[in-house]
Structure 1
Amino acid sequence: MVVGLLATLGILGVIALLVMAFVQRGRETLDFSLRGLLRVYLYLASLVGIVVFTLGIAGIAAFLLAAIFGRDVIYGGPPPQPVPAIAPACPPNTTCPPFVTFAPRPPVIPDERERRQQEDLVRGVTQLVFGGMFWGAHWAARKGIVGGDERASGLYRAYLILGTAVFGIATIVLLPTGIYQALSQVLITAQPGTFRQGAGESLSGGIATLPIWLLYLWLVQRALRTPAATTAVA
C-alpha cells in the first residue's frame, strides 16, 4: 500500500509538473540543453531517493511497533486454524456408534507474522541505507551543478512543491487509516475464527511520511521568504 501510493502520487506529480512547464513555456524559457536536462534528472532522482529512504523508515517503524505493541496490532491476529471433524452428539441414554471418518487431518496454517517482522527490519535497513546514499549522491551533484542560486530557481521550487504534495497526501491517507486500524485491533473484539488486517503498513507508512512532509513544507516556506529577504538586503 505504501509503495503503490507513493509511486502513484510521484508519477502524477511529475506529469502535472511537465504539463505546467509546457503550458507556461511562453512566460519562461525552457532549458533543453544537456545541463538543463541534467538538472531535471537530478531533482527527480533526489525525490526518488527520498521516497526509498521513507520506505526504509516505514519498514523499521513497523518492526519497532510490533516489538512494542505486539504483532496482533501491527500484523493482525494469528491466522484461523481449520477445525478437525467432530463426532455428532448422541441422544441421552443411548450408546453412541463409533464415529469413523476418512477425511484427512486438516493442515495447520503457519503463523508467518514473526517472519514478516524480521523481513520488515531487513527491508527497512536496506532501503534506508541505499535511499540515503542515492539521495546524497544526487544532492552533491546538484550542488556542484546548480551552485548557490539553487533556491531562486523555478525548478527547485517545483521540486519542493512536488515533494510537499506527494508526502502530504500520503500522510493524510496513511496515518488516519493506520490509527483507525490500530484502535480497532485494541478496542474492538474480533469474532472467533476471523482474521483482521493489521495496522502495520498504514501506520508505519504514515509515521514515516509525516516528518518528511513537514520538512518539505518548511523548505517551501523558507523558499517563499527568500525573495523578500534578498530584496530587503538589496
Structure 2
Amino acid sequence: RLHNDDFFSLSLLQIVSSKKITRTLLLGNGKPAGKGMITIAAQELSDNRVITLSMAGRKLDKKDLFGKSDPFLEFYKPGDDGKWMLVHRTEVIKYTLDPVWKPFSVPLVSLCDGDVEKLIKVIVMCYDYDSDGGHDFIGEFQTSVARMCEAQDASPLELECINPKKQKKKKNYKNSGIIIVKSCKITRDFSFLDYILGGCQLMFTVGIDFTASNGNPRDPSSLHYINPMGTNEYLSAIWAVGQIIQDYDS
C-alpha cells in the first residue's frame, strides 16, 4: 500500500529511454519505504503508419464555361458523432477533365483511425474549384483503405464518381467521371522513440567553433562573451539541449 509520503524521483525521459525501469520507493526523509518497489514500462500507443496515394481522374463532368473543370479531392472519415470530418484535400489541377494529382501521404490514424481491417468508410469528394470559394460539386463515392490498397502500379483501381442529384433526375445517368487509384502504399514513419527502443545508441558531444566572426569574447555583444555571471548564449543553449538528451546518451 502506498502512502502520501512514499515517492520516487524519475524523469519522463528516463522512463521512455528504458523499456522497463524499477525503483525503490522512498520516504519523505529519503529513506527506503520498507521493501516497496515500483516498476514502470514505457509503450508508445500512437500509430506510426502512413498511407501514400497516387490518384487521377478521367472524363470528369464539365463545370466551367469553356468545357473544363478545376478538380481537387477531399477525403472524409466518420466522427464519433456520425458526421463526416475532412481529413485531407489535394491540390487543384487547373483546366482539365483528366486530372493527375501529385502523390500525397496522410497518417493512417488520421485517415481511418488506423484500422484497415474494419470497413471504415472514407468519402472522396470531387469538387470544381473557383477563385471565389464557391466550389461546384462534381460527385462522390465511398471506399475504404483496404479497398484502395488493392491498387497496384500495374493494376490501378477505378471507382465511379457519382452525383446523387443527377443520378435521380436522369434515367440513363452512368457517372460523373472515374477516379483512379494508381497506387496505394502503407509504410511506417519511425519516431525518435522507435529508434531508441530499437537499440539505437547516441553519444552527446559538444563542439564550439570560436570563429572571429562571432566577435571578441570580451565584448558583451559576442556569442562567446565570457560573462562574469558564468553563462553566455552558447552555454545556455548547450545546457538546455543537454538536459533533454542526457538520458539518451549511451
For the aligned pair, the TM-score class normalised by the smaller chain equals: under 0.3
Tell me the TM-score normalized by structure 1. Answer: 0.20
- Larger strand fraction of residues: 2
- Larger of the two Rg values belongs to structure: 2
Which structure would you say has the larger RCO, counting Cα contacts within 8 Å and 6 or more residues apart? 1
